[in-house]
Every structure is written in structure tokens, then in C-alpha cells.
Amino acid sequence: MVKSPSELRARWLRQEQRQEIEERLVAEGIDLKRLAAILHLSEADPFDLLLYVAFGQPALTRQERADRLRQEEAAFFERYSPAAREILYIIVTKYANGETEDVGDTELLKVPPLREQGTFMELSGQFGGGTKLREALGELRELLYKL
């Protein structure tokens, strides 16, 4: 399917290509959740599971990946106001807890605890509007999967 970790990352960052990879694996009889359980890697992100199986790279847990993001990419978070940073931190925490597969999904603003903090319009206003919010979440996704 892919020839290198960097090719996997490039495809994983695009939602439609990620879905294509997952569908192809299912068609081949590979269930990532079951594979993760068998390998005792159920806390790993599916991306890391694939890196581990296909390329022998260490499988980071979601928490390790989230911690690395917060530490190594602190400058990204600092570019935003405290309110916007809090939204980003909540999204990263949801990812670390396995509550979301995609930190770039704007639908996360419509579920607790973000839903209680305001409407999509109010929350996106913390970033300067919907377009800026989508850009921030896209960059967050890229930084999360940085190799």
C-alpha cells in the first residue's frame, strides 16, 4: 500500500486517503483494533500500529504522541489566545483518551466539553473565524503525526 513511513504519513493526513487505507485493510481481512489487541498495543494510534507492523518502528501510545505534541510543539499552541489554546488542549486530550481519531475534525466542537463552552461560531471566533479554526486544526493534525 505504501513504500515508506513518510508516504504513510502523507496519506494518513488526508482524511479520504486514510479512509481508503482503512477500507483496503478491512478488504484484506485486517481489523486494526483486533490486531492492536493481539499485539498488546491497544493504546497505540492506528497510524503507529501500521508503522510498527509495516516498518518496525516503535508504536507510540496516543498519550505519548499527545505528550510529545504538547512538549515539542509548544510554539504552535503559544500562537493562540488562552481561550483558543484551551480548545486545542481539550481536543488533544480527547485524542489521547481515544475519544477521537481525528484532531482536525471540527465536529469535536459540538461534543462535550466544548459544546458547553459555546456554539461553533463562538468557539471558532477564538481563532478568528471558521477558516482560521480549520487551518489551526489541520496544522494540529500535521504536527500530531510528525515523524
| pTM of the entire predicted model | 0.92
Is 76 found in the same domain as 38? no
| Overall domain count for the chain | 2
Which pLDDT value is given to residue 123? Answer: 96
101 phi, psi to nearest 5 deg: -90, -20
Last-in-domain residue among 21, 36, 55: 55
Is 99 found in the same domain as 45? no
Query: Residue 147: pLDDT above 70?
Result: no
Which pLDDT value is given to residue 116? Answer: 95
- State whether residue 2 is helix, strand or coil: coil
Is 104 found in the same domain as 77? yes
CA angle 56, 45, 76 (to 5 degrees): 105
Is 51 found in the same domain as 16? yes
Is 46 found in the same domain as 89? no
What domain range includes position 32? 5-55
By percentage, how much of the chain surpasses pLDDT 70?
99
Last-in-domain residue among 33, 55, 77: 55
Is 74 found in the same domain as 38? no
Is 71 found in the same domain as 25? no
| pLDDT averaged over every residue in the chain | 95
Q: What is the mean pLDDT of residues 42-65?
A: 96
Is 44 found in the same domain as 75? no
Instruction: Specify the higher pLDDT residue, 101 or 73.
Output: 73
Instruction: State the DSSP string of 36-76.
Output: HHHTT-TTB-HHHHHHHHHH-----BHHHHHHHHHHHTHHH
Which residue type sits at 24? R
Q: Helices (DSSP H) in the chain: which residue ranges? A: 5-12, 15-27, 32-38, 46-55, 62-72, 74-78, 82-96, 114-117, 120-125, 130-144
Is 140 found in the same domain as 73? yes
Is 72 found in the same domain as 91? yes
Is 81 found in the same domain as 32? no
Query: Residue 1: pLDDT above 90?
Result: no
Is 67 found in the same domain as 50? no
